[in-house]
Amino acid sequence: MYVANTYLATTAEAMRASYDCERCQGSALADVTVVGQGYAEAPFFIGQKAAAAHAAKAATEALPAALERTLGLAGCPHCGACDPEQVKKAKLDAGLHRAGGNP
């Protein structure tokens, strides 16, 4: 039988980032609150401190990708276009979550 302690860490950070639109070449500054999550587990309850630290580190490391995603899905303030790559990733993630049984 496999048992483990699981750790989920969430971190949020307010960031100011440049938004550059590939469609209209417009740019703007955006104030964004970005949320990152990290997950780790300690199998058979071994290394629980390390797993907690790993989850926290992973949450912090997830922030740049979350910023890119948030900006891409927010849309351009000039022409309204969203980043097609971020839209595609979001759709894939939604599909994967549905396939995994989460609504």
Contact footprint for Zn ion (CB under 5 A):
21, 23-24, 26, 76, 78-79, 81
Q: Compute the least distance from the CB of residue 83 to Zn ion, in Å.
A: 10
Whether the CB-CB separation of 35 and 90 falls below 8 Å is answered with no
In the block, residue with structure tokens 């630290």: 53
Question: Of 13 and 22, which has the nearer Cβ to Zn ion?
Answer: 22
Spell out the residues 6+ positions from residue 49 whose beta carbon is closer than 8 angstroms to its own.
none
As measured in angstroms, the least distance from the Cβ of 20 to Zn ion is 9
Tell me the Cα Rg of the chain.
17
Is the Cβ of residue 30 or residue 53 nearer to Zn ion in the bound state?
30
- HSE at residue 32, side-chain half, CA atoms within 13 A, is 23
Nearer of residues 47 and 75 to Zn ion, judged by Cβ:
75
What secondary structure letter does DSSP report for 80? -
Question: CB of 27: closest distance to Zn ion in angstroms?
Answer: 9
CB of 78 to Zn ion, least distance (A): 4
**Closer residue to Zn ion (CB): 26 or 47:** 26
